[in-house]
């Protein structure tokens, strides 16, 4: 009589338990990665927008940058004044002063203070 080869029920349960533990560890390690990525992206884009404002103000020293003290503005290539120095439209909203200093970057429109 031949015995059929294969896995026992215990072996299968052990493999499933190991996979469940690995999945749990991976899920805990990746928890919050998206929030951190948003903060880092917002900071990097804020630096790019500030640089675009600085370049525009250096090339137009006699002009005053219109302020957006009351509402956040989405910036991109079509933005009046410094938009030509940006490659794409940001998903964040920015507020700046008349002297060209970014005062706030937010994910919500109209939240500048």
Domain assignment of residue 88, given as a range:
8-113
d(CA 112, CA 71): 5
Tell me what the pLDDT averaged over the chain comes to. 81
pLDDT tens for each residue of 11-30: 999 999 999 999 999 988 88
The model carries a pTM of 0.63
User: Would 59 be classed as within a structural domain?
Assistant: yes
CB-CB contact of 77 with 87 (8 Å): yes
Residue with tokens 């410094």: 82
Task: List phi, psi (to 5°) of 32.
Answer: 90, 0
User: Would 107 be classed as within a structural domain?
Assistant: yes
Task: List phi, psi (to 5°) of 44.
Answer: -65, -45
What does the pLDDT read at residue 68? 54
More confident residue, 110 or 99: 99
Give the list of residues 6+ apart from residue 11 with CB closer than 8 angstroms, or none. none
CB-CB contact of 94 with 111 (8 Å): no
Query: What's the pLDDT band for 69 if we cut at 50, 70, 90?
Result: very low
Residue 111 has pLDDT above 70, yes or no: no
User: Would 3 be classed as within a structural domain?
Assistant: no
Q: How many domains does the chain fold into?
A: 1
User: Would 2 be classed as within a structural domain?
Assistant: no
User: Would 41 be classed as within a structural domain?
Assistant: yes
User: Would 110 be classed as within a structural domain?
Assistant: yes
């Amino acid at each position: 009589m031949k015995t059929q080869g294969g896995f026992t029920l215990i072996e299968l349960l052990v493999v499933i338990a190991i996979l469940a533990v690995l999945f749990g560890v991976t899920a805990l390690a990746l928890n919050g990665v998206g929030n951190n990525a948003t903060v880092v992206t917002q900071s990097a884009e804020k630096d790019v927008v500030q640089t675009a404002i600085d370049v525009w103000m250096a090339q137009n020293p006699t002009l005053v940058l219109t302020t957006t003290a009351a509402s956040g503005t989405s910036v991109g290539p079509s933005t009046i004044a410094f938009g030509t120095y940006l490659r794409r439209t940001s998903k964040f909203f920015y507020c700046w002063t008349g002297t060209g200093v970014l005062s706030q970057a937010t994910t919500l429109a109209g939240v500048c203070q």
